Structure 1
Amino acid sequence: MSHFKAIFLLGIASLVLACARAIGFIRYGYSGANGPDKWGSLSSDFSLCSQGKKQSPINISKNITSYDPDLKPADRNYNKTRATIINNGLNIELIYDKGAGNVTVDGKNYTLERMVWHLPSEHTLDGESFPMELQLIHKSADNNITVIAILYQYGSNDAFLLQLQDELQQLQQDSCSGDEEARIPVGLVQMRTLVRHTRKYFRYVGSLTTPPCTEDVIWIILGKVRKMTDEQANLLKAPLSAEYKNNSRPTQPINSRTVRLYDEMHQNKNSDSKKSS
């Protein structure tokens, strides 16, 4: 390789990968002295992590969920949008530019801001954990939060992750220091696979699953478990240090909360029954 070509490629690489220092960041972990059971004591801002009564994730017991005929379909209106993939040291996330689209919940619009991958899944179904959980985080104009969670099991390739494959491989080679996060722009991200019609979902009121564990978050966990490959899971783990390759918070007490169920099949039966009466 010529000297000029080497300098040119180095310059391109420096434009692609950027390191950003996290200001005032308190590093929490998933085991040991700064593990989930210690989060509440790491900062006064994290007090809800140990004192909150509406914490996430939870185990969803299907036989005690409450079918709610008033729930509406969780249809998403997402657009092809520019985004940046980030290794913040704790997990891999995708941050969207403006115009990514929204979901409407109880008549209110929540704009998609970012998505985060947790391995293994944070929510469980009847005690069963899954290899991965993708959380799509939406925020309304008045700063309320709705998170849509998609659970994954091993199988065929996940089409959404396929388009991020090159950037995930590049994250493995980043040279950012321990208190910095690596950022790689990924251009336009195709959202088609994330707007499939949802026939069933579980909904409850919980919290963010990472500090500060903010409560009164609306959670919608899609009932359809999707597929991904083991290789794709490894791509999401590889850029992280050993202590963060498993980055899921344990399930929290449900306390007096109700998990509501939307079931399109049940809805259709009710509608047909009303028509015939």
Structure 2
Amino acid sequence: MKILLKSAIAASLLATAMTSAFSAETGVHWSYHGKADPTHWADGVPDNAACRSGHRQSPIALSEATAQRVASKDFAIHYEAGSVALLNNGHTIQANVSDANDTVVYKGESYKLDQFHFHTPSEHTLDGKSYPMELHLVNKGSNGQITVVGIFIQEGAENPALEPVFVDLPATQATAGRQAQVDIAALLPSDKKALVYSGSLTTPPCSESVNWIVLEQPIAMSKQQIAAFKAIFRDNHRPLQKLNHRQVSEE
């Protein structure tokens, strides 16, 4: 791990520059820093207008105390072990998933897991607390909508389920990545209690009508695993957005 961490640190300047890479969706520069940071994502880019004018933007500050309690869950998560294609897309480390059996059912609709990726620090906060990292599992439905499962990551013991990913993080941007076997079900915390709300993508074009399921119980990663990611992406989170009277439910 020490050798890998040194390699990641050596590549950090290059990777930091890559955070202003082109967006695959919008075809324009965007970044987390400098003149293309989140406050400028909509500048001169009509497709990114929601990043500035949207009223259901993500991430938000979540509060268990103010959430509406729901008697029964509107969601069910069905993940399993399988192969992922791991790559650096210029903004995060992303694992593309091809297994059709990885799904989330939300309000009776089935959403297939498309990819998962990481942010540091966490994009959402919970009861005023920010975590070192946040994992997003992006699920796409045949109805064109997206359901994202968000998981907070705290520092603790090494995470064996994520070791196949973090044993060799791709420090340079690429369109295709190495294959890794990941037990995706093992990434979830034991307690599936979640805060659920309607929001948006947290990257351009900031499209709305995204179902967010943010699990309240964090998972752990070791200090070394977190440091390896931060050596490549020192900060790739979007600042908190306004709630705008949206209802957050606890399920």
Residue 137 of structure 2 is aligned to residue 136 of structure 1: yes
Could you tell me how far apart the structure 2 residues matched to 1:157 and 1:217 are? Answer: 31
Q: 1:71 to 1:233 in 2, by over 3 A?
A: same
Q: Which residue of 2 aligns with 1:188?
A: 181
Q: CA deviation at 1:61?
A: 2.0
C-alpha distance in 1 between matches for 2:76 and 2:160: 19
Shift of 1:161: 1.6
- 1:158 maps to which residue? 159
Instruction: Report whether the alignment pairs 1:26 with 2:19.
Output: no
Q: Is the 8 A contact 2:92 2:119 kept in 1?
A: yes
Question: Partners in 1 of 2:226 and 2:96 — Cα distance?
Answer: 19
Once superposed, which parts of structure 1, at least 4 consecutive aligned residues long, lie more than 6 Å away?
21-24
For each residue in 1:96-153, what CA deviation from the matched residue of structure 2 results, as whole angstroms up to 9, or x when unmatched?
Answer: 1242510111111110000010000000012211000000000111211000000011
Structure 1 CA distance for aligned equivalents of residues 185 and 99 of structure 2? 17
1:89 to partner: Cα distance:
1.3
- Secondary structure at 2:237 match in 1: coil
Contact 2:23 2:30 in 1 (8 A): no
Identity %: 32
Q: 1:212 aligns with which of 193, 199, 205?
A: 205
Alignment match, 2:7? none
Which residue, 247, 251, 258 being the options, matches 2:236?
A: 247
For the pair 1:231 / 2:233, whether they are aligned, the reply is: no
Distance change >3 Å, CA 160–CA 26, structure 1 → 2:
farther
Listed one character per residue, the Cα deviations across residues 133-177 of structure 1 (whole Å, up to 9, x for unaligned) are 000000111211000000011111112221223331xx23x5xxx
> Which range is displaced more, 198-207 or 247-256?
198-207
Helix, strand or coil at the partner of 1:137: strand
1:92 is matched with: 93
CA distance in 1, matches of 2:47, 2:134: 26
Aligned length in residues: 229
Of the three residues 40, 43, 46, the one matched with 1:41 is 43
2:121 match: secondary structure = coil
SS in 1 for 2:122: coil
SS of aligned partner of 2:224? helix
Q: Which amino acid aligns with 1:223?
A: E
- Structure number with greater Rg is 1
> SS in structure 1 opposite 2:105?
strand
Q: Which moved more, 1:182-191 or 1:81-90?
A: 182-191
Partner of 1:57: 59
Q: Tell me: CA distance 1:25–1:245, structure 2 relative to 1, closer, same or farther (3 Å).
A: farther
Kept after mapping to 1: 8 A contact 2:23/2:204: no
Does the 8 Å CA contact 1:81/1:99 hold for their aligned counterparts?
A: no
Name the Cα RMSD after superposition. 2.0
| Alpha carbons of structure 1 residues 38 and 184: separation in structure 2 relative to 1, 3 Å | same
Return 138-147 or 51-60, whichever deviates more: 138-147
**Structure 1 residues 227 and 182: alpha-carbon distance in aligned structure 2, compared to 1, 3 A threshold:** same
Contact 2:86 2:180 in 1 (8 A): no
SS in 2 for 1:121: coil
- Distance in 2, matches of 1:137 and 1:259, equals 19
> What TM-score does the superposition give when structure 1 sets the normalisation length?
0.77
The range that moved more, 117-126 or 41-50, is 41-50
Which segments of 5 or more consecutive residues in structure 1 lack a partner in the other structure? 1-20, 175-179, 263-277
